[in-house]
Structure 1
Amino acid sequence: MLTTLYVRDLAVVAEAEITLGAGLTVVTGETGAGKSLLVDALLLLGGARADATLVRSGAERAEVSAEFDLAASPAARAWLHTQALDDDGHCSLRRVLAAAGGSRAWINGRPVALAQLGELAAHLLEIHGQHEHQALLQREQQLALLDAYGAHSVTLLQVRELAQRLRALAHEAATLGDGSERDARLQLLAHQCTELERWALPAERLAALEAEQRRLGHAERLLAGSAALVDQLEGDDGLRNQLARAAAELARLAEIDADLGASRELLDAVLIQLGEAGSALAHYAEARDLDPDRLAEVDAHLQHLHDLARKHRCAPDALPDVLTRLRDEHAHLHDAGARLDALARERDALTRDYDTAAAALGAARQQAAQRLGAEVSALMGTLGMPGGHLQVALEATAPGAADAQGRERCEFLISTNPGQALRPLRRVASGGELARISLALEVSMLGLDDIGCMVFDEVDSGIGGAVAEIVGHKLRALGRVRQVLCVTHLAQVAAQGHAHLRVSKHSDGAATRTQIETLDVEGRRDELARMLGGVSITPETRAHARAMLEQAQAR
């Protein structure tokens, strides 16, 4: 239940804080005073798109916040707990609109996305706008209303899940293809796997093969270079002999002065390493020879690798991964026949389950259609359409694939006068009739959810007189089991409220502001008199207003 609504700098409202209680609260005021701004504020808290023009002229931002009592809202409490936004049963929503554009939202003081704000608000508020009843003209909405009225959510969910699974099976079967396509694909995969098994190499072996190619391609240079180096090191006048003579001379000098011993040791070590280097180079030169056949073999292998890489659109070192993928696909297709048989058996079982669930949903819809038609028809008589009749017609869908909505489509048929033929609602109902039928549906569907606050924004437009009084009675009846907030211009409806808010607009010549006040008994009488009498309010008008109020409050 909505307990407090706070608005600041929204359109012509500078600041207003409204405390709301249970029952029916009516909102009245002169045309253009800003009555629907309260609904706009609640729509913003429901995640509606923000418009920077809603920020009051001269203000940097507009703010809307609300407090809710969740004692009778288990779904809202569960949602807050799931989102880790619960706060010991407390629930506050806040939205700020910047004049420069953009908005921010909070739940229980923590910033949230607008989608989260909308999800929570859907458990707290049910807003019926002035033109919402136009949705009744859509057959999809009519079917949704019927399912909500009949409480078909569990069966409908089962039908949807079964239809989704059947579509998934059909898609998998289609990907497996028919026998000829599968055989052709298997042959291609076998050929590709054979190619890759022959030529593809892991990354380390590919690197070794590329190194071998470089070595074989430069073998002549490597042999000539290593032989020349051996001659430079080991020849008669090579570096090693020169150093040997220098070492001998240093040894003689070290016998004279021991301080040269360290240099002698270093030179001896150099001679040893130089000898080892010369031996290694000589062995390298002797072990290597030109091998054009091996070079051709390595070149051919690498050429195949690069061709395959281009063919499969990958790097050469990724070919082993391609081979793994193709092997998996080959194995999958190889077993496709068995898989198709399994899919057929699973499809048959799911189809039987779907048929059962769809039949159960269809039977439940038939029963709900009869009840809803009878209930709304009875209410139509009290709402100014005596002899009117609503029939909820169900039409079977064409045979074919499993439908997520079941095997029926819905059409609301209406006759607004006795003896008149039933015709589709979308073709014959006027705006006022749609509004009254919408209200009848809302009354019929009361109690099907735990949403604590219902908001009506002038859904009583287009009616008056005795019908308006009956509409007021219905709204007051809703107020006994739900919190109802109703923006109205009808005195007959306003008199039925358990509480009354008046919206008025004031201007000092420089700025215009809207004021929202809670009326006491005398204030309500005066406001009803204004609504009844217009410009001239007579004692008779006041007496009439007092009588209407007393009669309504006595119910």
Structure 2
Amino acid sequence: MILSISIRDFVLIDRLDIEAGAGFTALTGETGAGKSIILDALSLAMGAGADRSFIRAGAEQASVAVEFGPPARHPVWNALQEQGIEASVDEALTLKRVVRASGPARAFVNDQAVSAAFLAEVGELLVEIHGQHAASALMRPSMHRRLLDQFAGNEKLLGACADAFDALEAARETRSRLEAEQADAIATREWLMQAVEELERLAPVAGEAEALTLQRVRLMQSERVTESVSEAEAALDGADIDAALSRASRALERICRLPGFDGSSESLPEAARIAAEAVERALIEAREASAAVFGLERLIHHDTEALEAAEARLFALRALARKHATEAELLPDLLLRLRSRLDLAEAGEDALIAARKAETSARARWHQAAEKLTATRKAAATQLEKAIAKELAPLKLGRATILIGVHALPDGEGSAQGADRVEFEAETNPGAGFGPLRKIASGGELARFSLALKCALAEAGSAQTLIFDEVDQGVGGSVAAAVGERLVRLAGAKQVFAITHSPQVAASAAAQWLVEKDHDQKSGGTRVRGLDDSARQEEIARMLSGAEVTQEARAAAGRLLEDA
């Protein structure tokens, strides 16, 4: 329920802080005092559209904050948890909206920024506002099925139906996919058979194309390698390098053995020794080089047949890859995919039959769950019609009849919520015929229908606070008194606010707020104050007599308060 309301710089309201109590509170005041402004402010905090015209003249921004105390098991706590909003069931919950002169409006839950859409979602869980002409949840056909399910207590059946529908959707998707795949496979069966046969005949192996490319390159170079080796052999053999280096080595050795040269450190003997050693090393390396070159010949294998075979295999792989617009390395994977499609065309009927059976079974389970929902809805509709009928006569709608239609949806339009369309219909006079409640009732009738429905559904909705705007429109006397009685009854389970011009309705309330012009402000602001017993009698007397309050009116007001 609402614990407090704080409004700043909203239209004609400069500053307003007011605490709310449980039960039924009436809001009264002269026409034009600003009662609708209070309702607009509350609607804004509940996520209604924001407009800069809400900002009080001369102010930079307008703000409305409403503090709630939902019970621990209220669904609003789950909604907050799903959005990651920090909130505790042991503390108050605050919804706030700020409209700025420059920049977008902002929404908050417990001082944490949220989207306006989420604020509206939370607001709908906490408060229902029933305006004179606005379509409340009761007047929106899209909400009728939900209201009936709440009345019937269909939470478990709805969960089972939703699970069955999800399973049906998954089975339907599987069957549809297999049908499409098989149809495609059958349409291309002949091509698939030829393609698979051709690929199987070639039998590509993973990594084969790359290996063949390297092998081909090596084989193609074998002739050049042979020519180069032969040339190197001829050069080494023709120059007789070994014999020349041997002669040079012997000649230098003779120099080193001459008298006076052996072991001498003079430049000539030293240079002779260095030259002899260099020639000796060159002789050794020349012999090693010659052995290495002649050794190459033994390693050369020029295999023309192997080269032709590698080229033929590689060309065949590349040609088939081009045919299928792929890479030669991907041919083994392509063969697997085409085999799978061919298997589907030739033997996929078994899988498709299984998928169709699974879909049929899932559809049967969903139909069973939906039929249970339909049965409980129809039974609950009858009970709710009777409950509403009891409320209509005292509201001077005794000739009216409410019919709750539970209509089967066309085939294929069922959903996780079942296979029914639910709509409240009304017949305002016998024989006039039934029609949608939202269309057939007048403004005054709509307000009274709304009250009757809410009394019948008092325990069904999650909103703990109900706000009625001039629910007594167009009625007076005993009807107005009956409206007050119904609001009192409704307030036994909910927190109820009613904006009213009826003294009978105001007198029925447990508390009364007076909305009036603040004459202390030059701008003619609006203020709200709670009335004590004496002030309530004076205000109800004004409502009875008009501008001039008479003693008779005060006495009548006193009697109304005593009878309430």
State the TM-score, normalized to the length of structure 1.
0.77
Residue 93 of structure 1 corresponds to 95
Aligned-partner residue type, residue 46 of structure 1 = M
Are 1:73 and 1:452, in contact at CA under 8 Å, matched by a contact in 2? Answer: no
CA offset at residue 160 of structure 1?
Answer: 4.3
> How many angstroms apart in 2 are the aligned matches of 1:10 and 1:100?
16
Aligned to 1:378, what secondary structure does the other structure show?
A: helix
CA offset at residue 105 of structure 1?
Answer: 3.4
Aligned to 2:167, what secondary structure does the other structure show?
A: helix
Aligned-partner residue type, residue 480 of structure 1 = G
Deviations 1:483-512 (A, max 9, x none): 112233333322222222233344789745
> How many angstroms apart in 1 are the aligned matches of 2:137 and 2:124?
18
Aligned to 1:302, what secondary structure does the other structure show?
A: helix
> How many angstroms apart in 2 are the aligned matches of 1:359 and 1:158?
12
Are 2:185 and 2:341, in contact at CA under 8 Å, matched by a contact in 1? Answer: no
CA offset at residue 442 of structure 1?
Answer: 0.8
> How many angstroms apart in 2 are the aligned matches of 1:513 and 1:275?
116
Deviations 1:21-40 (A, max 9, x none): 11112223344443234433
Q: Decide whether aligned partners of structure 1 residues 421 and 129 sit closer, same or farther in structure 2, where only a CA change above 3 A counts.
A: closer
Aligned to 1:50, what secondary structure does the other structure show?
A: coil
Match of 2:512 among 495, 500, 509: 500
CA offset at residue 206 of structure 1?
Answer: 5.7
Match of 1:153 among 152, 155, 158: 155
Residue 544 of structure 1 corresponds to 556
Deviations 1:503-550 (A, max 9, x none): 334478974533232222333333333433443333333333333333
Residue 354 of structure 2 corresponds to 342
Matched, 1:124 2:140: no
Residue 314 of structure 2 corresponds to 298
Aligned to 2:547, what secondary structure does the other structure show?
A: coil
Match of 1:370 among 364, 371, 382: 382
Q: Decide whether aligned partners of structure 1 residues 348 and 233 sit closer, same or farther in structure 2, where only a CA change above 3 A counts.
A: same
Residue 486 of structure 1 corresponds to 498
Match of 2:458 among 430, 434, 446: 446
Q: Decide whether aligned partners of structure 1 residues 274 and 362 sit closer, same or farther in structure 2, where only a CA change above 3 A counts.
A: same
Deviations 1:328-363 (A, max 9, x none): 656666664333433444445445444443443333
Matched, 1:55 2:30: no
> How many angstroms apart in 1 are the aligned matches of 2:435 and 2:80?
42
Matched, 1:391 2:393: no
Task: Give unpaired runs (5+ residues) of structure 1.
Answer: none
Q: Decide whether aligned partners of structure 1 residues 296 and 333 sit closer, same or farther in structure 2, where only a CA change above 3 A counts.
A: closer
Match of 1:424 among 432, 435, 440: 435
CA offset at residue 89 of structure 1?
Answer: 2.0
Q: Decide whether aligned partners of structure 1 residues 137 and 95 sit closer, same or farther in structure 2, where only a CA change above 3 A counts.
A: closer
Are 1:130 and 1:458, in contact at CA under 8 Å, matched by a contact in 2? Answer: yes
Are 1:492 and 1:548, in contact at CA under 8 Å, matched by a contact in 2? Answer: yes
Aligned to 1:440, what secondary structure does the other structure show?
A: helix
Are 1:454 and 1:482, in contact at CA under 8 Å, matched by a contact in 2? Answer: yes
> How many angstroms apart in 2 are the aligned matches of 1:287 and 1:522?
123
Match of 1:516 among 528, 532, 538: 528
Aligned to 1:36, what secondary structure does the other structure show?
A: helix
Aligned to 2:491, what secondary structure does the other structure show?
A: helix
Q: Decide whether aligned partners of structure 1 residues 343 and 180 sit closer, same or farther in structure 2, where only a CA change above 3 A counts.
A: closer
Aligned-partner residue type, residue 497 of structure 1 = A
Match of 1:466 among 447, 458, 478: 478
165-174 vs 462-471, which deviates more? 165-174
Q: Decide whether aligned partners of structure 1 residues 205 and 366 sit closer, same or farther in structure 2, where only a CA change above 3 A counts.
A: same
Aligned-partner residue type, residue 464 of structure 1 = G
Deviations 1:410-458 (A, max 9, x none): 45443334x4354224563222222211211111001124432222233
Are 1:223 and 1:289, in contact at CA under 8 Å, matched by a contact in 2? Answer: no
Q: Decide whether aligned partners of structure 1 residues 93 and 308 sit closer, same or farther in structure 2, where only a CA change above 3 A counts.
A: same
> How many angstroms apart in 2 are the aligned matches of 1:517 and 1:269?
120
Aligned-partner residue type, residue 5 of structure 2 = L
Residue 69 of structure 1 corresponds to 69
Are 1:136 and 1:142, in contact at CA under 8 Å, matched by a contact in 2? Answer: yes
Deviations 1:134-173 (A, max 9, x none): 7766655444433332223332443344344334434433
CA offset at residue 188 of structure 1?
Answer: 5.2
Matched, 1:309 2:312: no
Q: Decide whether aligned partners of structure 1 residues 363 and 87 sit closer, same or farther in structure 2, where only a CA change above 3 A counts.
A: closer
Q: Decide whether aligned partners of structure 1 residues 334 and 83 sit closer, same or farther in structure 2, where only a CA change above 3 A counts.
A: farther
Aligned to 1:94, what secondary structure does the other structure show?
A: strand
Matched, 1:532 2:534: no
> How many angstroms apart in 2 are the aligned matches of 1:65 and 1:274?
99
Residue 263 of structure 2 corresponds to none
CA offset at residue 307 of structure 1?
Answer: 4.4
485-494 vs 339-348, which deviates more? 339-348
Are 2:132 and 2:443, in contact at CA under 8 Å, matched by a contact in 1? Answer: no
Are 2:97 and 2:107, in contact at CA under 8 Å, matched by a contact in 1? Answer: yes
Q: Decide whether aligned partners of structure 1 residues 191 and 416 sit closer, same or farther in structure 2, where only a CA change above 3 A counts.
A: same
Deviations 1:67-115 (A, max 9, x none): 2223354433444455552336222333333332323333334344445
Deviations 1:357-385 (A, max 9, x none): 34433332332222222221221111112
Are 1:176 and 1:333, in contact at CA under 8 Å, matched by a contact in 2? Answer: no
CA offset at residue 127 of structure 1?
Answer: 2.8
Aligned to 1:63, what secondary structure does the other structure show?
A: strand
> How many angstroms apart in 1 are the aligned matches of 2:367 and 2:470?
44
Aligned to 1:480, what secondary structure does the other structure show?
A: coil
Q: Decide whether aligned partners of structure 1 residues 269 and 134 sit closer, same or farther in structure 2, where only a CA change above 3 A counts.
A: farther
Aligned-partner residue type, residue 485 of structure 1 = F
- Larger Rg over CA atoms: 2
Match of 1:435 among 431, 440, 447: 447
CA offset at residue 60 of structure 1?
Answer: 3.4
> How many angstroms apart in 1 are the aligned matches of 2:105 and 2:332?
52
> How many angstroms apart in 1 are the aligned matches of 2:10 and 2:98?
10
Q: Decide whether aligned partners of structure 1 residues 321 and 180 sit closer, same or farther in structure 2, where only a CA change above 3 A counts.
A: closer
